[in-house]
């Protein structure tokens, strides 16, 4: 089974801090995604990546950046955390060319609270 | 109007009942239709996957796609308390477009 591992389950950070959320997958998937999930709003795509060093903006990229230096690792960076970035963050991966057809594998999520 | 509409619920049904969960969509390019199950404080997991129109059955779960009506359904037979979760529909278009579009999820509780 593909495993997508997110480094932290729960995180509490202060306003203005730079925050790193890490995601690692172990099945050589090309595609990796970062979503946030909020009640009533569902899953919203922040950034995604088709390959190493490639990234594309999703629907809500403002206030976030990403890094993909290795195929298995996709990092989400909150440049200056704000309270409205308190959310559940989900990482996902999929095979290129089957992304929509093969479905995503999600990590367990990181619940981030910004105080 | 959202591309994918899903009633958020919550939906509560007694154990053993048949559950029907639904999504409607507006983008006729969608070809792949999925249902994900998400337990509390966990990530979504792929439950059912269907390509184009038709039905797919897997144990107690049946997924239906009606592309002419732009309507998809998930049926759960003999529902169990362990089925209590949030169910998200997801849709995608052609290969090469790697992004899925998700519904907001329906929260389901099975009452023992």
- Sketch the domain layout of chain A as residue ranges: 4-98+109-114
User: Where in the sequence is the domain holding B16, given as residue range(s)?
Assistant: 4-111
Question: What percentage of chain B exceeds 70 in pLDDT?
Answer: 97
Contact between A106 and A6 (Cβ < 8 Å): no
The CATH number given to whatever domain includes residue B17 is 2.60.40.10
State the nearest Cα–Cα gap between B108 and chain A, in angstroms. 15
> How many residue pairs bridge chain A and chain B with CB atoms within 8 Å of each other?
71
Q: How far apart are CA A73 and CA A56, in angstroms?
A: 16
End-to-end CA distance of chain B: 37
> How many domains does chain B contain in total?
1
B52 pLDDT band, cuts 50/70/90, is: confident
Q: How far apart are CA A35 and CA A48, in angstroms?
A: 9
Q: Where are the alpha helices (DSSP H) in A5-85?
A: none
State the nearest Cα–Cα gap between B111 and chain A, in angstroms. 22
Burial class (CB in 10 A: 0-12, 13-18, 19+), B88: buried
Of the residues A5, A10, A35, A43, the best mutation for testing chain B's interface (the one with the most B CB atoms within 10 Å of its CB) is A43
Residue A99 has pLDDT above 70, yes or no: no
Find the closest chain A residue to B96 by CA distance.
A97
- CATH fold of A4-98+109-114, please? Immunoglobulin-like (2.60.40)
Tell if the CB–CB gap between B32 and A31 is shorter than 8 Å.
no
Contact between B109 and B35 (Cβ < 8 Å): no
Residues in chain A: 115
* pLDDT tens-place string over residues A25-76: 998 888 899 999 998 888 999 999 988 988 999 999 999 999 999 999 999 9
Q: How far apart are CA A2 and CA B47, in angstroms?
A: 15
Tell if the CB–CB gap between B98 and A48 is shorter than 8 Å.
yes
């Amino acid at each position: 089974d593909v495993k997508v591992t997110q480094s932290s389950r729960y995180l509490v950070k202060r306003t203005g801090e730079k925050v790193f959320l890490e995601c690692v997958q172990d099945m050589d998937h090309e595609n990796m995604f970062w979503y946030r999930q909020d009640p009533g709003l569902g899953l919203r795509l922040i950034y995604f990546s088709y390959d190493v060093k490639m990234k594309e903006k999703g629907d809500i990229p403002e206030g976030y950046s990403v890094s993909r230096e290795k195929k298995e690792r996709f990092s989400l960076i909150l440049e200056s955390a704000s309270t409205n970035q308190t959310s559940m963050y989900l990482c996902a991966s999929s095979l290129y060319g089957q992304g929509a057809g093969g479905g995503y594998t999600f990590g367990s999520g990181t619940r981030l609270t910004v105080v | 109007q959202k591309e994918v509409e899903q009633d958020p619920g919550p939906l509560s049904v007694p154990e053993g009942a048949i559950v029907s969960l639904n999504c409607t969509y507006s983008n006729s390019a969608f070809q792949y239709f999925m249902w994900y199950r998400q337990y509390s404080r966990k990530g979504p997991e792929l439950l059912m996957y269907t390509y184009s129109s038709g039905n797919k059955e897997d144990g107690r779960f049946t997924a239906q796609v009606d592309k002419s009506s732009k309507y998809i359904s998930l049926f759960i037979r003999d529902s169990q308390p362990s089925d209590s979760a949030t169910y998200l529909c997801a849709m995608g278009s052609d290969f090469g477009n790697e992004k899925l579009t998700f519904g907001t999820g329906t929260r389901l509780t099975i009452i023992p």
